[in-house]
Amino acid sequence: MYAVIKTGGKQYKVSEGDLVKVEKLDGAVGETIELNEVLMVGGAEVKIGTPLLPEA
């Protein structure tokens, strides 16, 4: 399963456990953050947002 997320005006394709380098975010180095702007989720079933997925 994967997701396409948006942060800092850019989109990233990510999977669980991925380490993603993004533009500056509030938080300490190495801290886990939650990104809520999910545009698409793929796997056995694909869900595409308009523009975001409300349940993500």
Give backbone dihedrals phi and psi of 13, rounded to 5 degrees, phi first: -90, 120
Q: Report which of 33, 45, 19, 16 is spatially closest to residue 53, judged by C-alpha positions.
A: 45
- pLDDT tens, 12-22? 999 999 988 88
| 23 pLDDT higher than 90 | no
Report which DSSP code applies to 4: E
Burial level of 12, CB count in 10 A (0-12/13-18/19+)?
A: middle
pTM (two decimals): 0.83
